[in-house]
Amino acid sequence: MILKRIILFFLILLTSFPGHSFSDQQPPTDYPKAAVEADTLLLTDVPADGSALTLASMQGLLANVSRKNLLFRDGSYRAWLRYTNVQTIDAQPNGSPWDLDALLREFAPFFDGYLLCDDDSAAVALSLANQKNSIVVLPAFEAQVKAAGLTMTMDVRDWSDLRLRCSDSFRALRRDVAFEQPVFKTPRLMDYAVMSGAYVWYDPAANRVEHTNAFRFLDDNALLFGWNNDIGEYPTVYSASRLNACLIPADWASNLSVLSGFSCEPFRQKTDVSAAPGGRTVCLMMSDGDNLQWFVNSYAGSSHYGSALRGRFPFAWGVPASAADLAVPILNRYYDEMTANDAFVLSLSGLGYTFPSKWTNQEALRAMAQTLGQKMAVMGTHELLVLDDDGFRSRALDILLTETQANGIFYMDYDRYAKMRGKTRFVNGRPIVAARYQLWNNMSGCSPDEIAAAVNALPTDPKNPDSYAFIIVHAWSGLNGSGELIEGGNTMAAVERLVNGLDENTRVVTPAQFMERLTVNCG
C-alpha cells in the first residue's frame, strides 16, 4: 500500500506540470458563468437514487446552450425564485412530475450522447461531460437514456483518476478552476462542475501533501470549489493557499449552473444609520459569511439573517464575493430585505477562503485583489473581512487593502478569531483592525455578558485606538431557552443580549462608520 501511494504521488506530480509550471501569463481570476440566462425552469425534486448524476450533468450542459433548463427543488429556491424573471413549470402537462424520463424527452436533442460510469468512475465522467457534451449515466439508468434516443459516447467504468490524469482529455480541462466534491452529494455542485468543464476529485484518505499535489496542475489564482471534511479545514485551506488559490465552500449548493446565468446591476446598501459622536465605538459582525453553500441555503434562517431581532441595532453580515456572479437572485433577496441597520461586508480573505499570507506569488495575489475590488464595487461593499493564519502583520494584507481600494480591513485569526486583541495598523491612511473580542460558546471571556463588561471598561476617548472594538460573532453559537450560550443556539439573541449590556458611553455602528471614525480620529 505504501509503495502504491509513493508511485501515485510521483505520477500525479508528473501530470501536474503542464498547467502550473509552464504558464506564461496570469489567467483572469473570475468565476465561471453560464453562457445562457434561463427564462424557463422545469422544477424537479432531488432524486434519492443515482439518476441525480444524470440530471446534474444535464442541468450543467444545458446552462451553456438553452434558455430552458431544469431546477432542483432544493435549498432556499422558493425564496429567491421571485427575484428572477423566469417562467417556472411545476409539472408536465398531464400533471405528472418532471422525472428522469420526462426530462430526457425534453432535452435529449441538446446532447451528443452519454458517458457510462459506475460509482468509482463517476468523478471521471463528470470531468469529461462538458468536453464530450454528454450526460453522465450509471448502468441502472442506461436503458432509459437509450430509450430517449441517446447513444454511448464513452464507457469510462474502467477509468481511474490516474488514467484520466494521464490522458489528453485531462490536458484539455480548465486550469483556473477545479472541484473537490464527493459523488454522494450529487446533484449539489456537480451541475456547476459540468457547466465549467473542470476537473472533479475527492480522496478522503489524502493527506495535506497529497491534496496539494492533486491540484498542483492548476494555474496561480485558480478557484477550488467544494469542501473536504475528511482532510479537515486547516489542511485544505492551507493547501489551496500555497497553490495561490481560493477555496469556495459550496459542497451543498444546488443549481449554481442556472444561478450563474443571471446578471445584475450594481447593488446599493441602505443608508447608514447615524450614531452619536464620542465614546467607545463597537462594530458587530457575523462570521462564516464566505460560506457559499450556507449563503444559498439557510443563512437567512431564523437565528441569523431571518431573525426577528435583525434591524434593532447596527450589525454586519458577511457576503461571499462569489455571490456577485453565482447567486445574483439570492443577493437580490438579501438587499431587498436589509434594513438601515444592516450592512454587508465582503467575506472572506479574497475571492474565496484562503490565507493570503501563505501565497507564494504576490503578483498573483495582487491580480486576485484587483478582481476582488471589482466584486466589492458590484455589491456596494467598501470594507473587507479577512481571516488569515498569523497574517496580521503580513505584506499580503497591505496588498489586499491597496488593490481592492477598500476603506479598511477587519481581521480575524484562524487560531482564535480575536487572537490579536484589537490591534490596529494603518496602510496609506486606511486601517487594518483586528477583532478585539469573539462571541463564542465554551470559551472563557466570550459570553455576551463578559464581552459587554470588557467593552464598558475600555477608554472613551475616540482618539485612543483602544476605544474601538470589532467583535466577531461565531455563527454557530447562541442562546438556548434558558439564556445559556451554547453551540447551535439563537445567535442573534446572544448579540442582542450583548448590545443591551453596553453602557451609555458606547456606540454600536456599521462597518463604514467604524472605519470612518477610526481613520479620522486615529489615522
Q: What is the pLDDT of residues 147-186, one digit of tens each?
A: 999 999 999 999 999 999 999 999 999 999 999 999 999 9
Q: Are residues 217 and 295 in the same domain?
A: no
pLDDT of residue 17: 42
d(CA 439, CA 418): 10
pLDDT of residue 42: 98
More confident of the two residues 208 and 486? 486
Does pTM surpass 0.75? yes
**Res. 432: pLDDT tops 90:** yes
DSSP 257: H
Asked if residue 465 is part of any domain, the answer here is yes
Q: Which residues contact 484 (CB under 8 A, 6 or more apart)?
A: none
Strands 424-427, 430-434: pairing kind: antiparallel
The CA dihedral of 520, 317, 467, 500, to the nearest 10 degrees, is 130
**Res. 478: pLDDT tops 70:** yes
pLDDT of residue 18: 38
The Cα-based distances of 1 to 7, 296, 301, 447 in angstroms read 10, 41, 46, 48
Q: Are residues 163 and 85 in the same domain?
A: yes
d(CA 195, CA 261): 11
Q: How many CA within 13 A on the CB side of residue 173?
A: 32
Q: Are residues 502 and 357 in the same domain?
A: yes
pLDDT of residue 5: 52
Overall average pLDDT of the 348-360 stretch: 96
Residue range 71-87, pLDDT digits in tens: 999 999 999 999 998 99
- Do residues 44 and 246 touch, judged by C-beta distance below 8 A? no
Q: Are residues 6 and 100 in the same domain?
A: yes
Cis-peptide into 187, omega within 30 deg? yes
Asked if residue 296 is part of any domain, the answer here is yes
Q: Provide the domain limits for residue 494.
A: 280-522
Overall average pLDDT of the 197-224 stretch: 95
- Do residues 350 and 372 touch, judged by C-beta distance below 8 A? yes
d(CA 215, CA 198): 12
As beta bridge partners, residue 368 has none
Asked if residue 264 is part of any domain, the answer here is no
Query: Residue type for 400, please?
Result: L
Q: Are residues 29 and 157 in the same domain?
A: yes
Q: Are residues 341 and 199 in the same domain?
A: no
- What would the grid cell of residue 487 be? 453551540
d(CA 42, CA 97): 9
As beta bridge partners, residue 28 has none
d(CA 318, CA 292): 11
**Res. 3: pLDDT tops 60:** no
How confident is residue 277, by pLDDT bands cut at 50, 70 and 90?
A: confident
- What would the grid cell of residue 450 be? 463578559
pLDDT of residue 473: 98
Which has the minimum average pLDDT: 3-12, 57-66, 452-461? 3-12
pLDDT of residue 363: 96
Q: Are residues 367 and 497 in the same domain?
A: yes
Q: Which residues contact 83 (CB under 8 A, 6 or more apart)?
A: 329, 330, 332, 333, 336
d(CA 129, CA 275): 55
Cβ count near 363 (within 10 Å): 13
- What would the grid cell of residue 180 be? 473537490
Q: Are residues 410 and 489 in the same domain?
A: yes
pLDDT of residue 29: 62
Instruction: Give me the CATH number covering residue 292.
Output: 3.20.20.490
Phi, psi values for residue 347, rounded to 5°: -135, 130
Query: Residue type for 498, please?
Result: L
Overall average pLDDT of the 368-379 stretch: 96
Q: Which of 318, 270, 295 is nearest to 80 (CA)?
A: 295
The Cα-based distances of 318 to 113, 200, 209 in angstroms read 42, 28, 31
DSSP 489: S
pLDDT of residue 223: 97
- Do residues 200 and 190 touch, judged by C-beta distance below 8 A? yes
Which has the minimum average pLDDT: 75-84, 394-403, 469-478? 75-84
Asked if residue 274 is part of any domain, the answer here is no
Overall average pLDDT of the 193-210 stretch: 95
Residue range 13-37, pLDDT digits in tens: 444 443 333 233 344 468 999 999 9
pLDDT of residue 249: 96
Percent of the chain with pLDDT over 70: 94
- Do residues 508 and 313 touch, judged by C-beta distance below 8 A? yes
Q: Are residues 319 and 384 in the same domain?
A: yes
Q: Are residues 238 and 207 in the same domain?
A: yes
Whole-number mean pLDDT of the chain? 93
Asked if residue 464 is part of any domain, the answer here is yes
Query: Residue type for 145, please?
Result: V
Look-up of cell digits 506564461 = 24
Q: Please count the structural domains in the chain.
A: 2
Q: Are residues 364 and 232 in the same domain?
A: no
Reported as type and span, the H/E element at residue 50 is none
Q: Are residues 234 and 380 in the same domain?
A: no
- What would the grid cell of residue 405 be? 481600494
